[in-house]
Structure 1
């Protein structure tokens, strides 16, 4: 397979995982809003979308525009994330003006790989930062 095909397969896998997370956590928000939202955010971060963005940006980003194929692939996951954000908004967990794109970009920024330096206990620090980010989204 060509490099572009492999990249698309990895991105499609990421989208499938994101859709599965939304499907798993949307019903839970109705029962345990805060707990489900926190778990959802942590699991999205565990997908490490920032690492993928850093690795594949050159292939799919020109200036500040995503390529058309990538834009089309993100339609479903952005719509699903927007649905869970609406649930979180109704529960008072996030600001009313938060969009799926903003949520995903925030998580991607947190999960971007650091330059070639070793950071002891990086996973623990990253988990703390995800927690701070999720708290910062509150109204």
Structure 2
């Protein structure tokens, strides 16, 4: 006689419900569909562009239109503006860290790696996004803190490599580089210039020339640290 519990029904139950055969639904949570992930990425990319161009108060309907999706699709992914802003900031921080990692991995000369990173990071227009960070944005979230820490670490490693190789002056720090990128990518008020990209990269080259060793000037004050950059956000 076949032992109890080894029949077909019991075997199927054991395979489909590892936690037991008590009738509970043990099916895995389905992953988002590929088209849903693409829509989310399109929304974040469109929001990033429009925040740079018009500020974070731009109507969400306009962001949906730029992304090429319907309003309902946007609200399915992001219930309100703060949620979307949070995702945009996470995206920018992650992309900047990615650019630093790529530069470090693919450039033999450590200062060339820093140069490549500075130009790539400028494309994120973090200067234009500074008002988003300085507004009523909740910066005390674990995922944002982790992303920010990764970005700071990767940029610091680029700088320390260039300094250790004697290619970069040693009286500057990671805060100096990030401040310069933010300032040089901030839109000039009342300029009427729709595209400042050519000027940005030109002025970044001037800045990079000033970072190289041997130093040609004596800097006043002290190097800007990450803690200096965080201080205003704590108030």
State if a TM-score over 0.5 links the two structures. yes
Separation in structure 2 between the aligned mates of residue 124 and residue 80 of structure 1, nearest angstrom: 26
Contact 1:54 / 1:112 at 8 angstroms: preserved in 2?
A: no
Whole-angstrom CA distance in 2 between matches of 1:84 and 1:123: 24
Which ranges in structure 2 are unaligned for 5 or more consecutive residues?
Answer: 1-78, 214-235
Q: Deviations for 1:49-97, whole angstroms, at most 9, x for unmatched residues?
A: 1011134422249xxxxx4349724222111111111112123332223
The partner residue of 1:12 within 90, 96, 112 is 90
**CA offset digits 1:2-50 (Å, max 9, x no partner):** 2221111111101111121121111234x23343332221111111110
| 1:3 correspondence with 2:75 | no
- How far 1:120 sits from its partner (Å)? 7.4
> Which residue of 1 is the match for residue 151 of structure 2?
77
Which structure exhibits the higher relative contact order, with contacts defined as CA atoms closer than 8 Å and separated by 6 or more residues?
Answer: 1
**In 2, Cα distance between equivalents of 1:35 and 1:82:** 15
2-structure distance, mates of 1:34, 1:101: 17
What is the RMSD of the two structures over their aligned residues, measured on CA atoms? 2.4
How many residues align structurally?
Answer: 133
Secondary structure in 1 matching 2:193 = coil
Question: d(CA) in 2 for partners of 1:114 and 1:99?
Answer: 25
Q: Which moved more, 1:125-134 or 1:88-97?
A: 88-97
Which of 41, 48, 51 pairs up with 2:128? 51
Detail structure 1 runs of 4+ shifted over 6 Å in the superposition: none
| TM score, norm. by length of structure 2 | 0.50
From 152, 171, 177, the counterpart of 1:97: 171
| Unaligned 5+ runs, structure 1 | 62-66
Compute the TM-score of the two structures, normalised by the length of structure 1: 0.80
